[in-house]
Chains A and B, each alone.
Chain A
Amino acid sequence: MSILVIAEHDNNEIKGATLNAVAAAQAIGSDVDILIAGANCSAAADAAAKIAGISKVVVADNAAYEFMLAENVAPLVAELAANYGHILVPATTNGKNVIPRVGALLDVQPISDISAVISEDTFQRPVYAGNIVATVQSSDSIKVMTVRTTAFDPVAAEGGSATIEAAGGVHDAGISEFKGEEVAKSDRPELTAADVIVSGGRGMQNGENFELLYKVADKLGAAVGASRAAVDAGFVPNEMQVGQTGKIVAPDLYIAVGISGAIQHLAGMKDSKVIVAINKDEDAPIFQVADYGLVADLFKALPELDEAL
């Protein structure tokens, strides 16, 4: 049976997370299709056709699918599901919003956040904030899953030449409507795509002090993240949250500043290649996962780091 990957895209470009999900799909089998559900999305479909190792790009181009509203997209995916043994989507907020609704329509138990493929019906996934790795076998005829993108190296965005085919009916439930989006504008890289991340925690004390982090981040070409404690305290917006209930990241370098290292935060960053911790409390649990720990007052260390870079 073929495998369907639901692409994350903005109708023009394919988002990088799609390439990680395709990698997970190719670990299951070789016949992988991509679904582009959107409106005026032919540019995204053309880009998807170039992804290495894709058999077919399935396009559902309709106003009903423009904003990936789950009430409309889930029945579309459920309709297409008859041709597939597996349906995968990257574990983005879009993917997490749509996939369970697909699962319930198909009477299937979805599997969240797979981090390894053991066989075509057996997968690993983290539970309990990553403190346990569960190996789960599915007996459903269609396996419906989200993919932890940091666990799979992306496939090449170029080099393929898949066919493009329109498919699927129009499913407009008419019960939900997109009204607008407030997107944080930043010249810094996106958290989930950054090679370097500088994150701040409760130790930053307030939102203004994050300026110290932004300066260091800009020297390193880094994205800026935050712990749940910093988001809870209102220092920074939620889209900066790294952790169990925020974003999962695994950059080459993760610098945790004023972050104690609660299990909820470690769940989101402990697969980073190199971890640096700067904290004045030498007993902070973050030091147990840090490759390089600096016990120091961050208000002294950050300007010094800014100077040294």
Chain B
Amino acid sequence: MKILVAVKRVADYNVKVRAKSDNTGPDLANVKMAINPFCEIAVEEAVRLKEKGVATEIIVVSIGPQAAQEQVRTALALGADRGILITTDTDLESLAVAKCLKAVCDNESPDIVLLGKQAIDGDNNHTGQMLGALTGWAQATFASELTIDGDSATVIREVDAGLQTIQIKLPAIVTADLRLNEPRYASLPNIMKAKKKTIDSTTPADLGVDVAPRTTLLKAEPPAERQAGIKVEDVAQLVDKLKNEAKVIS
């Protein structure tokens, strides 16, 4: 069984990204970049499937600038077998990303595509579902448990009300939620080994994908700031303020 995992290079989750002062976009100058946390969970899940003997090969793919090779290497150090880097210097929309991944699926014929449920930069939560539409494959988004059983998979999904269980036919798309697993740290020997693994480079044009944007970012502004209020001395004063000043409790 072949697994394709998609990873995105994003600003590290500890960084508070701000708008550029001219409001043309996010200011990412000198910002530390990393694998999107949900993509890391997707990689870990693929590696666990290989360790269980369910998966035989893990291919990791990323779309982004040449520097996204670092994130592909990280995934290789975590246990992926080989990488594909689709290089582009423009920030692709999720539709274009899904089309690139569809082209990779056509070439590689994976049984499962694992992705993070959303990237923490654009906060879109699109790509897995869109790849599902383009391939015509089943999708299990927000996965917190994945069990493969022959040519189908049972997935527990994190939904608003609680947990939902669905069964999907393979090939299928699975997007990782927070509790699917806890990713491991790459060991030094594995980081060294990852340097010898193959990364194939291609471009959207080579894959025959039209990446012309459908939306225009007119402005990127800071949100309305909330002013810090007051510190209260004790619980009695807090309750008094909530009752008589804010009038939010009775």
Residue ranges of A at the interface with B (Cβ–Cβ < 8 Å): 67, 69-71, 74, 92-94, 96-105, 107-113, 122, 126-140, 173-184, 192, 196, 220, 228, 231-232, 237-239, 241, 244-245, 247, 252-253, 263-264, 270, 273-276, 282, 287-296, 301, 304-305, 308-309
With both chains docked as a complex, state the minimum distance between the C-beta of A83 and any C-beta of chain B, in angstroms: 20
Please determine whether A231 and B179 come into contact, CB atoms closer than 8 angstroms: yes
- Bound Cα distance A292, B235 (Å): 11
Known: A127-B121, A131-B16, A293-B230. 8 other contacts (CB 8 A): A92-B160, A99-B129, A129-B123, A133-B222, A176-B168, A220-B249, A292-B238, A294-B231
With both chains docked as a complex, state the minimum distance between the C-beta of A115 and any C-beta of chain B, in angstroms: 9
Question: With a CB–CB cut-off of 8 A, which chain A residues contact B38?
Answer: 245
Question: With a CB–CB cut-off of 8 A, which chain A residues contact B138?
Answer: 71, 173, 175-176
What 9 pairs across the A-B complex have the smallest Cβ distances?
A: A104-B133, A291-B229, A100-B129, A104-B130, A109-B214, A135-B219, A100-B126, A304-B235, A175-B138
Please determine whether A136 and B17 come into contact, CB atoms closer than 8 angstroms: no
- Bound Cα distance A134, B24 (Å): 9
Cβ contact of B17, chosen from A128, A138, A292, cutoff 8 A: A128
Question: With a CB–CB cut-off of 8 A, which chain B residues contact A247?
Answer: 160
Please determine whether B117 and A179 come into contact, CB atoms closer than 8 angstroms: no
Cβ contact of B161, chosen from A67, A131, A183, A308, cutoff 8 A: A183
With both chains docked as a complex, state the minimum distance between the C-beta of A245 and any C-beta of chain B, in angstroms: 7
Chain B residue with the shortest CB-CB distance to A295: B231
- Residue total for B at the interface (Cβ-Cβ under 8 A): 82
Cβ contact of A292, chosen from B122, B168, B241, cutoff 8 A: B241
Chain B residue with the shortest CB-CB distance to A306: B235
Please determine whether A244 and B95 come into contact, CB atoms closer than 8 angstroms: no
Cβ contact of B239, chosen from A131, A132, A176, A305, cutoff 8 A: A305
If A131-B223, A179-B154 touch, whether A253 touches B123 (CB-CB below 8 Å) is: no
Which residues in window 150-186 of B have CB below 8 A to A? 154, 157-169, 172, 177-179
Question: With a CB–CB cut-off of 8 A, which chain A residues contact B126?
Answer: 100, 103, 110, 112
- Bound Cα distance A92, B158 (Å): 11
If A93-B142, A93-B160, A134-B217 touch, whether A109 touches B231 (CB-CB below 8 Å) is: no
If A122-B218, A231-B178 touch, whether A109 touches B120 (CB-CB below 8 Å) is: no
16 pairs, A vs B, C-beta closer than 8 Å: A69-B166, A70-B129, A70-B141, A71-B139, A93-B160, A104-B95, A104-B129, A109-B213, A128-B11, A132-B222, A180-B165, A181-B163, A182-B165, A241-B178, A287-B228, A304-B235
